[in-house]
Amino acid sequence: MAQYILGISAYYHDSAAALLRDGEIVAAAHEERFTRKKHDAAFPQKAAAYVLEEAGIGLSELEAIAFYDKPYLKFERLMETYHGFAPRGVVSFLSAMPVWIKEKLFMKKMLREELAKLGQGKPRILFPEHHLSHAASAFYPSPFDEAAILTIDGVGEWSTTTIGLGRGKDITFLRELDFPHSLGLLYSAFTYYCGFKVNSGEYKLMGLAPYGIEGSERVADYRQKILDALVDLRPDGSMLLNMAYFDYATGLTMCRDGKWEALFGLPRRASESELSQEHMDMALAIQQVTEDVVLRLARTAREMTGCKNLVMAGGVSLNCVANGKLLREGIFDDVWIQPAAGDAGGALGAALAARHIWSGHDRAPLPEGAMDRMAGSYLGPEFTRKDAVRVASRHDAPCAVHDDFDALCATVADLLADGKVVGWFQGRMEYGPRALGGRSILGDPRNPEMQKKLNLKIKYREGFRPFAPSVLAEAASECFVLDRPSPYMLLVAPVAEKLRHDLPDGYWEKPMFDRLYVSRSDLPAITHVDFSARIQTVHERTNPRYHRLIKTFADRHGCPVIVNTSFNVRGEPIVCTPEDAYRCFMRTEMDYLVIGDCLFDKTNQPDYGDAGDWRDEYELD
């Protein structure tokens, strides 16, 4: 009889559910994709119902449910922190305690009540620690039988960073760093100070960093002030933060604005205000410090474990610039990063920890020809042609239905080459924060206007934000300085030298957007200001339809790369259903939409009378 284990993450941010059948991932999904509420923290009722439905089982058929952290340990950390910092933190204490006393201290009861809405049955509930969930999500799906494990995030119960060893079905922790000393929270403090939203805007800070002026006195000064005043960084990558500058332990903000302004001579940037060169330089300084910490931790992990391979998870592992630098340093032969590295991935890790540690099952062999056990991270819902046709019928929307997929790819390839923007909705939805060709918006990377068009007319987001290239795996080394797969868009690498253009004199003295709109390569829409790109290699085995589209684009137009950005507008979760996709298509200046075999032309669509303004529906992230 098959063993089913359900993993749950909830009640902080990015709730999710994942289901295993005999250790194999059946399905996994973020709750936000169903509720349309970005970073939804509620119990993942809809995501859990989906994964159970995907397996065709009910709650009673589960052997166990694994929740991604230990609530009592987290409560202990809160109480000890408030006690240690008293009398500071009374406002935060009075805000947090009612929720804990009424609900979170009784997590098992609360989970039972939510699970009862899914049907009959009372499977056992397990509570692996937060960083064990992260570590399990990284090691067990990886291709390695043995690996060093590095998990870095804001905070779990107590841990903020761990170094471990994975061998076979076992995970052993060797070292940990505890709250309040946290690389993730340090990076989030700079996210906050640069005017972005914590637990959402960290990737914007990473994207802003290349606009800082490398080698400038100001970047060096900011970096030195971080290391002198904020962080006592040790050679092994451990750190102590100077809590006189931070407020997150007991307060309601990340840092003490007055002390930071006195230290850096720079006020906190107001959200949505103009970005100054000083804030760009600050972003570069903290990015450099972050990379230094990650490299030190990786070297320590190599020394402690003797392993030639590394796996990573935790929110900081989504910093693909640091990941790319880690690879290029050659500390490990290979690095594998969980594509759902943040808290959503904790649902999968909790289930895997239950499978291999609690119930003691060995890992199954890696499927022949597979890169890992994640199935490309295409683990969410899939829809049929009939679903697409129903949406067309509901909205009286004309669409061309193609029985020949090759012909559809040829049509879409030509549309892209003509400068059109195409919504691409195919197969199963992605698990993790990146769109990987299942729920994507596509463009031609050679078009010098594409980056501006996608940011301002499609995504309605900040104009400085870069876009990622999807490249045929077999052609990646021709276009980028990359010698290995990057299927999950978690590595940044330089654009190949032969594709680059010389920069004009005085380039770094130009204002931000003057720099941005200088053509830096033959692929201007995906080449960031420092000649880098966040790369997705597309593999025929894991996404044959997307691979075929890019191959058709390469055959017809000589370019094995297309622009890939997530199918949503700013503040909106990535689309889940055909209805979500059509709504987003009609609310933006997207030119065409492909749902399965159905092609929608914007110029032929009827008036979308109930579209409304997406700004009234979604909070800006």
pLDDT digits (tens, 9 = 90+) for 460-489: 888 888 899 999 999 999 999 999 999 999
Backbone phi and psi for residue 231, each to the nearest 5 degrees, phi listed first: -130, 125
Question: Distances in Å between the alpha carbon of 587 and those of 495, 569, 615?
Answer: 33, 9, 11
> What single letter denotes the amino acid at residue 206?
M
With beta carbons less than 8 A apart as the criterion, state whether 7 and 66 touch.
Answer: yes
- Residue 496 DSSP SS3: coil
Question: In this model, does residue 94 exceed pLDDT 70?
Answer: no
Is 13 one of the annotated active-site residues of the chain?
yes
Query: Would you say how long the chain is, in residues?
Result: 621
DSSP letter at 378?
Answer: B
Question: In this model, does residue 609 exceed pLDDT 90?
Answer: no
Residue 379 to residue 543: CA distance in whole angstroms = 12
Q: Say yes or no: do domains 4-138+340-372 and 385-617 share a fold.
A: no
Exposure b/e, 188-210, CB count within 10 A at least 16 = b: bbbbbbbbbbbbbbbbbbbbbbb
Q: Six-digit token pair at 412?
A: 């879409």
Exposure b/e, 87-111, CB count within 10 A at least 16 = b: eebeebbeebeeebeeebeebeebb
Helices (H), 194-232: 202-208, 217-225
Q: Six-digit token pair at 81?
A: 């922190």
- If one compares 595 and 91, the residue with the highest pLDDT of the two is 595
Question: Is the Cα torsion angle 438, 442, 446, 451 positive or negative in sign?
Answer: negative
Predicted confidence band of residue 78 (pLDDT cuts 50, 70, 90): confident
With beta carbons less than 8 A apart as the criterion, state whether 554 and 427 touch.
Answer: no
Within 10 angstroms of residue 10's Cβ, the number of other Cβ atoms is 28
pLDDT in tens, 345-374: 999 999 999 999 999 999 999 999 999 999
Mean pLDDT value of segment 267-291:
96
Topology of 385-617 in CATH? Answer: DHBP synthase (3.90.870)
Topology of 183-335 in CATH? Answer: Nucleotidyltransferase; domain 5 (3.30.420)
Residue 192 to residue 202: CA distance in whole angstroms = 9
Residue with tokens 């297309």: 562
CA atoms within 13 A on the CB side of 298: 28
Question: Is the Cα torsion angle 57, 59, 61, 65 positive or negative in sign?
Answer: positive
Q: Dihedral through CA 344, CA 571, CA 514, CA 282, nearest 10?
A: -50
Mean pLDDT value of segment 322-342:
97
pLDDT in tens, 217-268: 999 999 999 999 999 999 999 999 999 999 998 888 999 999 999 999 999 9
Looking at residue 106, its pLDDT comes to: 77
Question: In this model, does residue 105 exceed pLDDT 80?
Answer: no
Burial class (CB in 10 A: 0-12, 13-18, 19+), 73: middle
Mean pLDDT value of segment 292-297:
98
Question: Which of these is catalytic: 13, 30, 39, 395?
Answer: 13
Backbone phi and psi for residue 65, each to the nearest 5 degrees, phi listed first: -120, 130
High-pLDDT (> 70) share of the chain, %? 96
- Residue 36 DSSP SS3: coil
DSSP letter at 229?
Answer: I
**Of 80-94, 303-317, 480-494, the least confident:** 80-94
With beta carbons less than 8 A apart as the criterion, state whether 315 and 339 touch.
Answer: no
Mean pLDDT value of segment 573-597:
97
Residue 506 to residue 317: CA distance in whole angstroms = 35
Burial class (CB in 10 A: 0-12, 13-18, 19+), 482: buried
Backbone phi and psi for residue 160, each to the nearest 5 degrees, phi listed first: -120, -20
Question: In this model, does residue 617 exceed pLDDT 80?
Answer: no
- If one compares 151 and 74, the residue with the highest pLDDT of the two is 151
Mean pLDDT value of segment 125-130:
97
Helix (H) or strand (E) holding 258: helix 257-264
Q: What are the structural domain ranges in the chain?
A: 4-138+340-372, 183-335, 385-617
- Report which of 426, 412, 367 is spatially closest to residue 553, judged by C-alpha positions: 412
| 108 Cβ neighbours under 8 A, 6+ residues apart | 125
Residue 317 to residue 151: CA distance in whole angstroms = 8
- If one compares 441 and 107, the residue with the highest pLDDT of the two is 441
| 587 Cβ neighbours under 8 A, 6+ residues apart | 569, 608, 611, 612, 614
With beta carbons less than 8 A apart as the criterion, state whether 326 and 290 touch.
Answer: no
Q: Does domain 4-138+340-372 have CATH number 3.30.420.40?
A: yes
Q: Dihedral through CA 305, CA 308, CA 309, CA 313, nearest 10?
A: 40
Q: Six-digit token pair at 376?
A: 């490309």
